Amino acid sequence: MNRSPCPCMPLDQAVRVLAIIDGVLDGVGILIFLTELIVMIAGSNVRALDVGRLVAGLIFEILFVWLATTLYEATNTRNQRACRRWLYMTGALVVLLILGIIVYSSLGEFALDFIIILIIIAFKIYESLVVNAFSQEVMRDGQAPGNSESAVAS
């Protein structure tokens, strides 16, 4: 039997809780990026690099909110395909975050953003481990919608 990455509660409940936490934190991130962007544009010292960073951060946050709602729905319906899709898309976004850290730090802009992005990456990795375990559990139970193996077994 595989060990659960979240031993404190059942996997489906853990994924739901993580999706809610993810959605709320990313919603707050959207507000922060929008506020920072508005303050920057209202000010007189606007650098293209800073505006680009804020717009990219805003796009990432919007995508992460969408992914959080997708994950929440996939957990409620026990949809393994949607969980796998979430894993692939989140993995791709995490790789882009890592590349962004490399580019941003190579430009000499090494600030609090770096630490925040590292925390986000660590959270996404843990969340991915839990979602992967849940996806495997759904596959073992044969409850995945559209799963051809579960249709054959019936």
pLDDT digits (tens, 9 = 90+) for 66-96: 999 999 999 999 998 999 999 999 999 999 9
* pLDDT number for residue 21: 94
- Spatial CA neighbour of 85 closest among 96, 77, 95, 74: 74
Q: What is the pTM of this model?
A: 0.80
pLDDT band at 109 (very low <50, low <70, confident <90, very high): low
Q: Which residue is it, tokens 């997708």? A: 70
Distance, in Å, from the CA atom of 27 to the CA atom of 143, rounded to the nearest integer, reads 31
Q: Residue 9: CA atoms inside 13 Å, Cβ hemisphere, count?
A: 8
Compute the average pLDDT of residues 112-121.
Answer: 82
* pLDDT number for residue 10: 87
Give percent of the chain with pLDDT exceeding 70: 87
The dihedral through the CA atoms of 42, 43, 47, 52 has a sign that is: negative
pLDDT band at 145 (very low <50, low <70, confident <90, very high): low
Q: Where are the domains of the chain?
A: 11-143
More confident residue, 136 or 43: 136
* pLDDT number for residue 85: 94
